[in-house]
Structure 1
Amino acid sequence: MKAKEIQELIDFISNSGLAEVKIETDEFKLSIKKNSEAPAAKNVENYYTQAQPNPVQEPEPAPKRNTTESEETSGQQLLEVKSPMIGTFYRSANPDSDFFVNIGDTIQKGQTVCIIEAMKLFNEVESEISGKIVKVLVEDASPVEYDQPLFLIEPQN
């Protein structure tokens, strides 16, 4: 079962009247249980829908951000900001807010650059370096895969 299929199954179960589902095959075991008293991962407004009860599965802590050297562009060395998890990429905290960063913005280490929603939990992705945003590689509210490049950054010297 692929991650996207699991996410769709979780969304379906969240919207159904079921409180608990267990699936077991030769390849994997999956147990999902609604828990209406589970705390939210971050204090960020839900992007498009009302908050749903969170499955009991504990999410892994989100790494701040992964950077690797990218292709050399116009004689400059750029770094990629990569997705630390599978989820949905958001450039702002809610539809009415400004984007965290835009092309041409100078960012500082520790500054939030986006949010990745995974299993109804919102995880802020922070910059590990200071630099200038050169390119945004993903559309707002798009699904992203683990290790998928999100931004290109020109590091500050």
Structure 2
Amino acid sequence: MDIKDILTIMDRFDQGNMTKLQLKIDETELNIEKDSIFAPPMANQSLPSTLVASGTPAPAEHKKPQEDGFVIKSPLVGIYYESSSPDSPLSKNRAIRSKLGK
């Protein structure tokens, strides 16, 4: 029995209405089991014959989904450095513009 045969058996088992299959061929043993998709028949249960209607329906509550973690509020969004770091000198073009502007 090769993998193609096993896959074929599994497909047919899945499509059928069996819930358990045990197969042994030579040294290969295959056990397949699935939950029953059909519920057992239930006894007839009578429903209440009267329905109670209220004057106004209750408003649905809108619950905010709970998020994991926490929020950090900061007025500073980002910093832009024209040089490689705050302590390094400005680039050559920026230094020339700042001298001309003064």
Scaled by the length of structure 1, the TM-score of the pair is 0.22
Structure with greater proportional helix content: 2
Structure with greater proportional strand content: 1
Rg comparison, structure with higher value:
2
- Greater relative CO (CA pairs within 8 A, separation 6+): 1
Scaled by the length of structure 2, the TM-score of the pair is 0.33
